Amino acid sequence: MNPTQLSVQLNCPLPKLDFEVITLGHGSGGLLTHRLLKAGVFTILKNPLLNEQHDGASLNLSGPVAFSTDSYVISPIFFPGGNIGELAVNGSINDVAMCGAMPQYLSLAFIIEEGLTMNEFWEVLLGIKKASEAAGVPIVTGDTKVVERGKGDKLFINTSGIGAIHPRAKIRISQIQPGDKILVNAPIAQHGVAILSVRQGLEFETSITSDTRPLHMIVRKLLDECGEAIHFLRDPTRGGVATVLQEVASQAGVGIELVQSHIPMDEQVEGACEMLGLDPLYVANEGVFISIVSPQFSERALQILKTEFSTAAIIGEVIAGHPGQVVLKSKIGGRRVVTMLPGEQLPRIC
Amino acid sequence: MNPTQLSVQLNCPLPKLDFEVITLGHGSGGLLTHRLLKAGVFTILKNPLLNEQHDGASLNLSGPVAFSTDSYVISPIFFPGGNIGELAVNGSINDVAMCGAMPQYLSLAFIIEEGLTMNEFWEVLLGIKKASEAAGVPIVTGDTKVVERGKGDKLFINTSGIGAIHPRAKIRISQIQPGDKILVNAPIAQHGVAILSVRQGLEFETSITSDTRPLHMIVRKLLDECGEAIHFLRDPTRGGVATVLQEVASQAGVGIELVQSHIPMDEQVEGACEMLGLDPLYVANEGVFISIVSPQFSERALQILKTEFSTAAIIGEVIAGHPGQVVLKSKIGGRRVVTMLPGEQLPRIC
């Protein structure tokens, strides 16, 4: 994006600064840090809490709250469907949502590699602003560090999120029971394939974009309607659906049966996975979540998911047999055990 | 520290792992991540909230709380008086404390450069465990990412902290009034000089150690006794005392007068600063904080500080004159304006 497009998108003039790249001085805590933050970050992300500019934000919270943190080291920082800024906002919103809570506040911490251009930085900030506004979750406190060239990789972001736990939420691994249904909201493996599509040496023509999006509103609907019947929630980011379900089976001491033909997947994504020799069950997602729901409420939960996600599906169930194991019934009728991702399928995916 | 010493210090056997360095696979979210976390991190830092191992922690909080975040990119990660782990725990504890709050929970997020040895990682975890236990503030949620060699620098850590605001705290820049006294708890410039002393090419013989320590208990005592009379608190880390006070003067629209001879400083630190051509007012601190206190309570506040810090002092006052300016009365009787750190004095100091 050029400065004019950025300015239009940000709906405010870009600050006039006499530097075009970020230098170590911008991480000094001194004059340059102030100029960068005052001229840019505080203006773009402004809200009453952030405007206090103290070491931390003072928030009103009550009752049980969920607290989560994640660092984002995705490479490249710009990718089809978003940038590291959107990912960092949506990612921590979703981690809080998976605890059965409504995210209310986010922190934002940058580790910038010296030499990042201001244009790149504004574009990431635009992603942050858009995602934060779309989700209705403000950035209330933050930090900016700069490291020397070759000691980072353009930009790493940490976000932490806090929010009140839904009064009817009882999301706990120990709630999971044999008979529970396993639901997924949206087609899997999209984020991982979108990132691969832009990685050097692996470029191929595709319109696949990252599925980064906030999931807290759909989680809220599920909890409003199904309450305690929602036994567990988890977003299968790194390691994919397979790793998350293997972890659940092992922690809950239950078996899991998946039906491959029920797992929603985009045709292009499926094709790309075949071409690249990737098992989509291990490919990272950003806007996908797994719900484990009591059988009495599974159809109701599916209807709720379908109001926003047309391809939502019941993809399997929890069983008492083969505790600790996830078994997949394949499309051609075979059965195979699904283990945890053994090594690294695709580094720096989130 | 060798593995035996580490094991003794950790008060538990080190986990047996078949790897000696951290690889990209440890950031996959899959099997290797699990082995690293289960075998090590969860055992060493164990507490009931962390043990849930969900995407986030569920906390009980009530009333107004402070929320703060900081990334730590210090180089080197081991330095006289501590390591990046202790710094990350104490740093965010102090940021929450500076809001007039009692830190209750911390998050912990690692960005590890591939190739970090397990021995280094355990030693950092030991620092984290010690600092967290000493302060009584548990790590309740976390994240681990690994980046390729040359895309990070051994280890970056982000911690975010939350805690309830003291019922009598009214810490706000707008509370600052002409006549207020400026107090400092401890000798300045120690942390920055300790780091410089181990930086390549600048090594000199010294016993100066980082002053990293938690400040929340002394802040609590101040607030218990002086309440609303404590108008402002801030820990002058990056940019030092000068930058923080310049920021305060400018934001509050007041003048500040400092008396150089009242500012506590260790003789060795002073000597090192002279030798290196550094102005100690700009050198980073970790265990130092500035309190701005109403004149009626300044002696009482000083007494409280002195119960723990023998060299605590009133170093200046807020005046109505020269708003936005900090003026230092030097030891030889001159007066000079203290500006904000213009560039970068010492990169990667915290």
Alpha helices in A30-117 (DSSP H): 31-36, 42-44, 84-97
User: Considering only A117-126, A183-192, A233-242, B3-12, which range has the smallest mean pLDDT?
Assistant: B3-12
Provide φ and ψ at A304, rounded to 5°. Answer: -65, -45
Give the alpha-carbon dihedral of A198, A204, A205, A210, to 10 degrees: -40
Q: Give the mean model confidence (pLDDT) for residues B180-207.
A: 85
Q: Does residue B201 carry a pLDDT above 60?
A: no
- Predicted pLDDT at B115: 97
Return the structure tokens found at A116: 């990042």
Q: What is the tens place of the pLDDT at every residue in B235-260?
A: 999 999 999 999 999 999 999 999 99
Q: Looking at residues B9-32, what average pLDDT do you find?
A: 85
A121 φ/ψ sector (left φ>0, alpha ψ -120 to 50, else beta): alpha
Cβ contacts of A152 on chain B, cutoff 8 Å: 151-153
C-alpha dihedral sign at B98, B99, B102, B107: negative
**Rounded CA separation B328/B44 (Å):** 47
In contact, B71 and A64? CB cutoff 8 Å: no
Q: Which domains does chain B have, with CATH numbers?
A: 3-165 (3.30.1330.10), 173-338 (3.90.650.10)
Distances (CA, A) of A95 to A227, A228, B161, B265: 18, 19, 17, 45
Residue B19's nearest CA partner among B140, B146, B130 is B146
State mean pLDDT over B109-129: 96
Does the pLDDT of residue B39 top 80, yes or no? no
Which of B69, B107, B346 is the best residue to mutate to test the A interface, defined by the most A CB atoms within 10 Å of its own CB? B69
Average pLDDT over residues B291-300: 98
In percent, the amount of chain A with pLDDT more than 90 equals: 76
Q: Comparing A285-294, B9-18, B127-136, B321-330, which segment has the lowest mean pLDDT? A: B9-18
The answer to whether the CB atoms of B238 and A30 lie below 8 A apart is: yes
| Confidence band, pLDDT 50/70/90 cuts, at residue A204 | low
Identify the band that residue B4 occupies on the pLDDT scale cut at 50, 70 and 90.
confident
ipTM for the complex shown: 0.95
Q: What pLDDT score does A8 carry? A: 86
Is the model more confident about B322 or about B6?
B322
Which residues of B are less than 8 Å from A107 in CB distance? 67-69, 160
Kindly tell me if the per-residue pLDDT of B200 is higher than 60. no
User: If you average pLDDT over residues A253-278, what whole number do you get?
Assistant: 94
Among A96-105, B38-47, B143-152, B193-202, the minimum mean pLDDT is found in: B193-202
Q: Mutate which of A18, A71, A159 to test chain B, going by most B C-beta atoms within 10 A? A: A71
Query: Kindly report the CA angle at A163 between B129 and A303, in degrees rounded to 5?
Result: 125
Interface size between A and B, measured as CB pairs under 8 A: 274
Q: pLDDT class for B204, splitting at 50, 70, 90? A: low
Q: Give how far the C-alpha of residue A142 lies from the chain's centroid of Cα atoms, to the nearest Å.
A: 19
Cα nearest neighbour of A70 on chain B: B143
Cα dist. A317→A71, A223, A283, A314 in Å? 32, 20, 21, 8
Mean of pLDDT values over B131-141: 97
- Check B173 against A54: CB less than 8 A apart: yes
Contacts of residue A18 in chain B, CB cutoff 8 Å?
Answer: none
Report whether pLDDT(A200) > 60. no
Average pLDDT over residues A178-184: 98
Question: Which residues from chain A sit within 8 angstroms of residue B54, using beta carbons?
Answer: 98-99, 171, 173
Best-predicted range by mean pLDDT among A154-168, A262-276, B10-24, B40-54?
Answer: A154-168
Cβ pair B103, B93 in contact under 8 A:
yes
What pLDDT sits at residue B179? 98
Cα–Cα distance for residue pair B265/B281, rounded to 1 Å: 10
A95: chain B residues, CB-CB within 8 Å: 55-56
Computed over every residue of chain A, the mean pLDDT equals 93
Could you read off the pLDDT of B53-78 as tens digits, one per residue? Answer: 777 888 988 789 999 999 999 999 99
